[in-house]
């Protein structure tokens, strides 16, 4: 065996395993009891650094090996009790973890970490290990420290193209494919031997078709499970985030997480990370008060931020709850009127909370590096809706705020309602639908704006909603242009509720999502397509965009709905 073998083929494994070690290092450090550190946890922290050092040396990454060499010495003394575990040791280990992560990103195409940052860090780690704290301060002051997150900001994130799969799942997949082949062979024999008119032959064919259906369903579920990851992949990064932000803002906050084993499609997990991060930052910055304010209000000095996930029906629900001050209704209302956002004279709490999602809306007096630029919540809602999910807010002054996110289990398959518009079929995502109804003529109103634009409203449970005729949006000849002869689907969008007018409901279906852009082109008002059981293609509605397009046909309805 040649000793000059090319190690580059193992780099992918190194990148993946090192990312896992760094994530483990952060999780263990943030949850460590400073007063009475668990020896097993201290050993695990040391082993993570030791493993990174060994792998970095083996696979040819000397920059990372140098950092972990000094870090390993510090952690070894801390675990043996030769050094008292202090907040400073934890902080510098977390800082080293960030530098190592930036170095890892650099080896995958990101910008290099400034050598001055690495030199400063290593000098301070060595000084702490030697017990000379004054040297630590001098080392920190001698070299300008650059935030290691800045180089990554300008670089496109490189997503991992591989998934670790357990042997059991692979074995199950192979077994199911074998069952599918057997069933296919049975059906082929049926084709070669024409059926008689006897009921026994027909029953045999039906039995084999049912077997094929079972095999297909089990195969689909197994393949989908391979892409599933626990939400802990996202949740694990938040203890560090909350710890750092709370320290920066001089707040006492405890993060509690529940349901970390709840599984989501890998694609959903990748895309939900940024929205969740923004919501967590908002809760820490705006939601939970300073300790003095909490004590004055009769609350414990330490605020509680709860992050939970659980399955409900065919969806995953993620909740972010804080016991902070809640939303200031009057303040939000004043900001909305200052920005001339149309509102009814007596808006409900829910209408006011939804103003938070208006583009650029913010009640912060000053802009900080934590939040307050007013460029986030509208993007959060749009990103979640692009995943086929929805987000809701509930808040009580002095009690706290709850943000509920409902997401599909996977981006490959979704539940939808098949609707008929003329001779065409469309799929409306089930997550956007509140209810469906046939309107009464007395509940419909036609309006004309000052500019001559026309619009229609429908009265639903005491509230006038804009009526969007989908046959007008997609330029289709309907079976009837009169809403009272069709069906209205009440949907919830980022701009509020609306009523979609269709000819008929064809039933609820689980559909396989096919990208329209990669196979054809982007179509306004359509998010994707699917192939139906009869081989025909149905378009999947982008509900928010379809409502916006429909409102262009009825501009008057938008303004009048607010005034009625």
pLDDT tens digits for range 106-149: 888 888 888 888 998 999 999 888 876 544 444 444 444 344 44
Q: CATH topology of 7-153 equal to that of 413-563?
A: no
Residue spans of the domains in the chain: they are 7-153, 167-226, 230-408, 413-563
What's the pLDDT score for residue 196?
A: 57
Q: Which of 3-7, 156-160, 398-402 has the highest mean pLDDT?
A: 398-402
Q: Indicate whether 164 pLDDT > 80.
A: no
Q: Indicate whether 546 pLDDT > 90.
A: no
For residues 117 and 142, the answer to whether their CB atoms sit within 8 Å is no
**Separation of CA 327 from chain center:** 23
Higher pLDDT, 215 or 539: 539
Rounded Cα distance, 475 and 324, in Å? 49
What's the pLDDT score for residue 99?
A: 92
Topology classification of domain 7-153 = 1.20.120
Write the pLDDT tens digit of every residue in 86-98: 888 888 999 999 9
- Model confidence at 313, pLDDT cuts 50, 70, 90, reads low
Q: Indicate whether 235 pLDDT > 80.
A: yes
Q: Which of 35-44, 147-156, 276-285 has the highest mean pLDDT?
A: 276-285
Write the pLDDT tens digit of every residue in 391-434: 888 888 888 999 999 887 777 777 889 999 988 899 998 878 88
What's the pLDDT score for residue 334?
A: 83
CA atoms within 13 A on the CB side of 441: 2
Q: Indicate whether 198 pLDDT > 70.
A: no
Rounded Cα distance, 379 and 279, in Å? 11
CATH code, residues 413-563 = 2.40.50.180
110 CB contacts (<8 Å, ≥6 apart)? 102, 151, 152, 155, 158
Q: Which CATH architecture has domain 230-408?
A: 2-Layer Sandwich (3.30)
Kindly report which listed range (3-17, 351-365, 437-451, 486-500) carries the lowest average pLDDT score. 3-17
Query: Whole-number mean pLDDT of the chain?
Result: 79
What's the pLDDT score for residue 375?
A: 47
The share of the chain scoring above pLDDT 90, in percent, equals 10
Strands laid side by side in the 433-437 sheet: 433-437, 487-493, 496-502, 463-469, 454-460, 444-448
What's the pLDDT score for residue 43?
A: 87
Phi, psi of 454 (to 5 degrees): -115, 150
What's the pLDDT score for residue 552?
A: 66
What's the pLDDT score for residue 393?
A: 87
**Separation of CA 385 from chain center:** 10
Write the pLDDT tens digit of every residue in 272-290: 888 898 899 889 988 899 9
Closest CA to 284 of 313, 254, 327, 318: 254
Kindly report which listed range (21-30, 273-282, 345-354) carries the lowest average pLDDT score. 345-354
- Model confidence at 9, pLDDT cuts 50, 70, 90, reads low
Rg (CA), the chain: 29
- Model confidence at 157, pLDDT cuts 50, 70, 90, reads very low
Element (H, E) at 275: helix 266-282
First-residue to last-residue Cα distance in the chain: 83
């Amino acid at each position: 065996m040649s000793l000059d073998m090319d190690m580059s083929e193992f780099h992918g494994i190194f990148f993946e395993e090192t990312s896992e070690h760094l994530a483990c290092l952060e999780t263990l450090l943030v949850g460590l009891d400073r007063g009475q550190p668990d020896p097993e946890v201290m050993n695990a922290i040391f082993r993570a650094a030791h493993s990174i050092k060994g792998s970095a040396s083996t696979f040819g990454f000397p920059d990372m090996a140098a950092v972990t060499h000094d870090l390993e010495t510090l952690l070894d003394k801390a675990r043996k009790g030769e050094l008292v575990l202090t907040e400073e040791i934890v902080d510098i280990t977390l800082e080293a973890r960030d530098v190592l992560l930036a170095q890892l990103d650099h080896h995958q195409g990101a910008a290099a970490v400034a050598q001055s940052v690495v030199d400063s860090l290593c000098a301070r780690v060595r000084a702490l290990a030697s017990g000379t704290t004054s040297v630590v301060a001098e080392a920190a002051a001698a070299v300008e420290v650059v935030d290691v997150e800045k180089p990554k900001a300008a670089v496109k994130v490189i997503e991992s193209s591989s998934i670790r799969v357990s042997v059991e799942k692979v074995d199950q997949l192979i077994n199911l494919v074998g069952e599918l082949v057997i069933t296919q062979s049975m059906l082929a024999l049926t084709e070669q031997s024409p059926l008689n008119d006897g009921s026994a032959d027909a029953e045999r064919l039906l039995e084999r078709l049912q077997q094929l259906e079972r095999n297909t369903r089990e195969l689909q579920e197994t393949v989908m499970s391979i892409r599933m990851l626990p939400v802990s992949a996202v949740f694990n990064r938040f203890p560090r985030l909350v710890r750092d932000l709370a320290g920066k803002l001089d707040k006492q906050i405890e993060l509690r997480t529940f349901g970390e084993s709840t599984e989501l499609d890998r694609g959903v997990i990748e895309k939900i990370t940024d929205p969740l991060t923004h919501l967590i930052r908002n809760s820490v910055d705006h939601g939970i008060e300073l300790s003095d304010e909490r004590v004055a209000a009769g609350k414990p000095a330490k605020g509680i931020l709860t992050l939970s996930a659980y399955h409900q029906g065919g969806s995953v629900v993620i909740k972010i709850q804080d016991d902070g001050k809640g939303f200031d209704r009057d303040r939000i209302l004043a900001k909305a009127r200052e920005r001339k956002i149309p509102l009814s004279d007596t808006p409900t709490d829910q209408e006011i909370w939804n103003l938070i999602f208006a583009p650029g809306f913010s009640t912060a007096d000053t802009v900080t590096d934590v939040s307050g630029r007013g460029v986030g919540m509208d993007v959060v809602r749009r990103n979640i809706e692009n995943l086929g999910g929805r987000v809701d807010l509930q808040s009580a002054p002095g009690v706290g705020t709850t943000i509920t996110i409902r997401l599909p289990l996977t981006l490959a398959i979704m539940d939808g309602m098949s609707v008929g518009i003329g001779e065409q079929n469309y799929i409306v995502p089930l997550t956007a639908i509140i209810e469906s109804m046939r309107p009464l003529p007395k509940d419909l109103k036609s309006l004309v704006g000052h500019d001559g634009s026309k619009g229609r409203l429908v009265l639903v449970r005491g509230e006038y909603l804009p009526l969007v005729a989908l046959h007008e949006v997609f330029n289709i000849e309907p079976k009837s242009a009169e809403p009272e002869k069709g069906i209205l689907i009440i949907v919830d969008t980022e701009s509020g509720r609306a009523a979609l007018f269709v000819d008929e409901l064809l039933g609820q279906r689980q559909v396989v999502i096919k990208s329209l852009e990669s196979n054809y082109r982007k179509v306004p008002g359509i998010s994707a397509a699917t192939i139906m059981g009869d081989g025909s293609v149905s378009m999947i509605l982008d509900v928010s965009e379809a409502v916006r397009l429909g409102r262009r046909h009825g501009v008057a309805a938008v303004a009048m709905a607010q005034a009625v």
